[in-house]
């Protein structure tokens, strides 16, 4: 029984983490047909902003030394700035390119940022301790749950609700959904393209910053590839959910997170290292039966 | 004359490369010769990538997987007879206890890569362009995870060493020429032209009776074979392979070369390899350090990667069709004939519909 609850908690925490990343990717994809590889490096750079750039493997803290609220603000602020900067420098000049070109360019931006981190911080993994007390287990109804899992779920649930409210209730949110539905039409009706796209990048930066903090609290290490796996999972989540559909992205995120935890728990021990391969194979299987994804939007099809 | 005109785009690529290689063989120092051989292997890989990406317009992140498949298949057949039963004990007995001759092993390895390309293409090509790109990333990750963890067969992430090294510049040159000729014959064949039609206008092509699925699948499989050739060459050039050499960095490098040269033409693929190989080599030397007078100057490690990404972004922003602008090297034509580029894909979509 305890075991089952533990698995459900793990699945919920990981699923909501992936849902957050998938939403960030889905938002940007919605407004400019860009699948943003650099999302991985937003999270990585957010995490690295906690420490002073040195080659040491136990570096002194930079933002990590600030009081909690300030630290969270600084990290997320850095990532938002970075996201806006990449939009302005790399993606805005390419706005009218086809999606394949945008995809390749985001791959290049990602490669650039990743090697910039290597240049500044050296490529070796580092250890960093923030939120130490959170890794302790919390006792709930006789079941021990790591505090960081609860935190992840709480933060993710809050952000999901806030994001949904933002998209449904505020004028800017409605403009974003309109832009995701049909960008040309939205512009003709007076939705400002630059602002909508900038806001989408800012939100994706905000989510990436949050994810970076959650990842660091969970693992206590910094690694240049730390943002990669969540973002790759989120890519598949958006494809499973249906390209261009925000509810689809969140749903897809939960699916890959839950499947990943289930495989980790119930696979025989000697097959467990192959977990990721199992999840990705499942992605391809789902696509075999629903090539358009689970929730099909008009954005998924080429308009004539 | 028609024959000359037909073959000119391929010959115009092959001859300068061959001359460069022969010159470097006779006059250049050994380090340059190694750079040349590596570049030739990359030409095979990037031309393989081009066969699918260039002609279909769909980005693939999964192609270096086929290199990995072929490289490992070649290693299993040819490497280290004494050590194999210990280090790779999980291999089937006929592989574990035998060493195969080089040529049959190369051919079967290439066939294995092509077979995987066909099988994965059966699934991937059902998807629309972008979804196919992302799912090709899934292919890359699946094979990487499996090969990294299948210790008893692949030695995990450790390097497989002791593969015979027979790939010298002439061998690589012959293979590069072969890849270029295959890619050229494909792109001027009716299959190649129909695929280019789907690239230029998916809806019109489909409406003209072209099957998006089969035309893409054919190119995907063919490019899988050529990538397999690149993988075999790579393994027999280095003599040592490890699965993480065939992952995101190599994917990035090959894509960058294709984009910088211009992904819409075969000449672009080849030029991209030559230009970026030169840039990479120059910056590698600068990172290692050069002496100016008495001072020793060196760029910090990692500069080369930053330059690579920056070059690629600049090309994408300011010259989207790459250095070659999507053109082949062609003989100038008389005024009566329309240029070949204009009459290519879109008109053909109409022609295919009539037949």
Chain B residues inside the 8 Å CB shell of A97: 316, 320
Residue B342's pLDDT is 45
Chain B residues inside the 8 Å CB shell of A274: 145-146, 149
- Distance set, CA A65 to CA A50, A52, A53, A125 (Å): 8, 10, 14, 19
Residue B340 has pLDDT above 80, yes or no: no
Residue B339 has pLDDT above 60, yes or no: no
Residue B267's pLDDT is 94
B141: nearest CB among A104, A108, A276: A276
- Distance (Å, whole) CA A208 – CA A77: 11
Q: Where are the domains of chain A?
A: 2-227
A104: nearest CB among B149, B203, B316: B316
Average pLDDT over residues B144-169: 89
Taking the CB of residue B297, how many other CB atoms lie within 10 A of it? 10
- Distance set, CA A31 to CA A72, A181, A301, B183, B310 (Å): 27, 8, 15, 37, 25
Residue B108's pLDDT is 95
pTM of the model: 0.89
Picking from B161, B168, B310, B151, the residue whose alpha carbon sits closest to that of residue B237 is B168
Residue in chain A lying closest to B149 (CA): A273
- Distance (Å, whole) CA B49 – CA B42: 10
* Phi, psi for B21 (deg, rounded to 5): -65, -45
The residue with greater pLDDT, A2 or B240, is: B240
Residue position matching structure tokens 């008109």: B347
The residue with greater pLDDT, A303 or B222, is: B222
Per DSSP bridges, beta strands B240-241 and B160-161 are antiparallel
Looking at CA atoms only, how far is residue B233 from chain A in angstroms?
Answer: 26
Angle, vertex CA B206, rays to CA B212 and CA B189, nearest 5: 60
Query: Which residues from A are below 8 Å from B when comparing CB atoms?
Result: 35, 90, 93-94, 97-101, 103-105, 107-109, 111-112, 115-116, 118-119, 232, 235-236, 238-239, 243, 273-274, 276-277, 280-281, 283-284, 287-288, 291-293, 300-302, 304
pLDDT in tens, chain A (304 residues): 567 888 888 888 889 889 999 999 988 998 888 999 999 999 999 999 988 887 777 788 888 788 888 889 999 999 999 999 999 999 999 988 888 889 999 999 999 999 999 888 888 888 887 766 666 667 666 667 777 888 888 898 899 889 889 989 999 999 988 887 788 888 899 989 889 999 999 999 999 999 999 988 888 888 888 889 899 999 999 888 888 788 888 899 999 999 999 988 888 888 888 888 888 888 888 877 887 888 876 655 555 5
* Phi, psi for B323 (deg, rounded to 5): -60, -40
Average pLDDT over residues B185-209: 93
pLDDT tens sequence across B3-37: 888 999 999 999 999 999 999 988 888 888 999 99
Answer yes or no: do B302 and A115 touch at CB < 8 A: yes
Q: Where are the domains of chain B?
A: 2-245
**Model confidence band, residue B47 (pLDDT cutoffs 50, 70, 90):** very high
Residue B355's pLDDT is 40
**Model confidence band, residue B354 (pLDDT cutoffs 50, 70, 90):** very low
Chain B residues inside the 8 Å CB shell of A98: 57
Chain B residues inside the 8 Å CB shell of A241: none
Residue B219 has pLDDT above 60, yes or no: yes
Rank B2-6, B62-66, B99-103, B291-295 by mean pLDDT and report only the highest: B62-66
Average pLDDT over residues B85-94: 83
Looking at CA atoms only, how far is residue A210 from chain B in angstroms?
Answer: 24
Average pLDDT over residues B257-281: 94
Residue A140's pLDDT is 67
Count helices and strands in chain A by DSSP H and E runs: 11, 4
Chain A residues inside the 8 Å CB shell of B321: none
8 A C-beta contact, residue B330 and residue B8: yes
- Distance (Å, whole) CA A180 – CA B107: 49
Residue B21's pLDDT is 92
Query: Which residues from B are below 8 Å from A when comparing CB atoms?
Result: 57-59, 61, 123-124, 126-131, 133-135, 137-139, 141-142, 145-146, 148-149, 202-203, 252, 255-256, 259, 300-303, 305-306, 308-310, 312-313, 316-317, 320
């Amino acid at each position: 029984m305890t075991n089952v609850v533990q698995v459900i908690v793990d699945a919920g925490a990981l699923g909501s983490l992936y849902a957050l990343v998938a939403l960030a990717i889905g938002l940007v994809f919605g407004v400019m047909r860009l699948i943003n590889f650099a999302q991985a490096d937003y999270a990585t750079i957010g995490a690295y902003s906690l420490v002073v750039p040195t080659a040491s493997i136990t570096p002194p803290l930079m933002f990590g030394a600030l009081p909690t609220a300030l630290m969270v603000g600084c990290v997320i602020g850095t990532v938002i700035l970075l996201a806006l900067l990449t939009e302005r420098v790399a993606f805005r000049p390419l706005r009218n390119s086809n999606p394949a070109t945008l995809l390749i360019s985001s791959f290049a931006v990602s490669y650039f940022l990743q090697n910039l981190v290597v240049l500044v911080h050296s490529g070796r993994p580092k250890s960093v301790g923030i939120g130490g007390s959170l890794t302790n287990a919390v006792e709930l109804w006789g079941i021990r749950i790591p505090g960081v899992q609860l935190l992840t779920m709480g933060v993710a649930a809050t952000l999901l609700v806030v994001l949904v409210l933002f998209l449904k209730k505020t004028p800017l949110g409605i403009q974003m959904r309109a832009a995701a539905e049909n960008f040309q039409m939205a512009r003709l009706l007076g939705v400002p393209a630059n602002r909508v796209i900038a806001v989408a990048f800012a939100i994706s930066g905000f989510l990436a910053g949050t994810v970076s903090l959650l990842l660091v609290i969970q693992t206590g290490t910094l690694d240049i590839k730390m943002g990669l796996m969540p973002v790759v999972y989120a890519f598949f989540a958006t494809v499973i959910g249906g390209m261009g559909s925000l509810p689809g992205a969140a749903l897809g995120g939960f699916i890959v997170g839950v499947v990943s935890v289930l495989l980790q728990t119930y696979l025989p021990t000697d097959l467990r290292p192959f977990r990721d391969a199992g999840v990705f194979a499942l992605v391809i299987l789902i696509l075999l039966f629903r090539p358009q994804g689970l929730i099909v939007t008009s954005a998924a099809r080429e308009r004539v | 004359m028609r024959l000359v005109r037909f073959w000119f785009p391929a010959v115009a690529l092959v001859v300068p490369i061959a001359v460069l290689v022969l010159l470097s063989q006779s006059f250049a120092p050994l380090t340059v010769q190694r750079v040349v051989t590596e570049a030739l292997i990359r030409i095979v890989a990037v031309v393989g990538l081009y066969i699918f990406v260039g002609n279909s317009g769909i980005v693939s992140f999964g192609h270096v997987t086929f290199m990995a498949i072929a490289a490992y298949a070649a290693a299993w057949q040819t490497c280290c007879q004494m050590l194999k039963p210990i280090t790779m004990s999980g291999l089937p007995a006929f592989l574990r206890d035998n060493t195969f001759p080089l040529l049959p092993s190369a051919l079967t390895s290439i066939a294995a890569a092509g077979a995987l390309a066909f099988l994965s293409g059966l699934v991937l090509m059902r998807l629309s362009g972008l979804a196919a790109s992302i799912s090709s990333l899934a292919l890359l990750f699946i094979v990487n995870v499996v090969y990294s963890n299948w210790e008893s067969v692949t030695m995990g992430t450790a390097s497989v060493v002791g593969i015979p090294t027979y790939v010298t510049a002439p061998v690589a040159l012959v293979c590069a020429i072969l890849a270029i000729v295959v890619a050229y014959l494909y792109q001027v064949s009716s299959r190649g032209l129909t695929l280019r039609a789907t690239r230029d206008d998916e809806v019109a092509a489909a409406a003209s009776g072209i099957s998006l699925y089969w035309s893409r699948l054919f190119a995907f499989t063919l490019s899988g074979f050529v990538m397999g050739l690149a993988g075999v060459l790579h393994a027999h050039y280095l003599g040592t392979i490890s699965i993480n050499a065939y992952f995101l960095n190599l994917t990035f490098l090959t894509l960058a070369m294709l984009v910088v040269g211009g992904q819409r033409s075969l000449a672009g693929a080849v030029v991209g390899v030559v230009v970026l190989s030169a840039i990479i080599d120059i910056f590698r030397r600068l990172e290692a350090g050069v002496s100016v007078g008495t001072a020793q100057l060196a760029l910090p490690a990692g500069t080369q990667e930053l330059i690579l990404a920056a070059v690629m972004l600049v090309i994408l922003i300011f010259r989207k069709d790459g250095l070659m602008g999507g053109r082949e090297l062609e003989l100038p034509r008389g005024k009566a004939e329309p240029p070949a580029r204009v009459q290519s894909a879109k008109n053909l979509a109409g022609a295919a519909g009539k037949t």
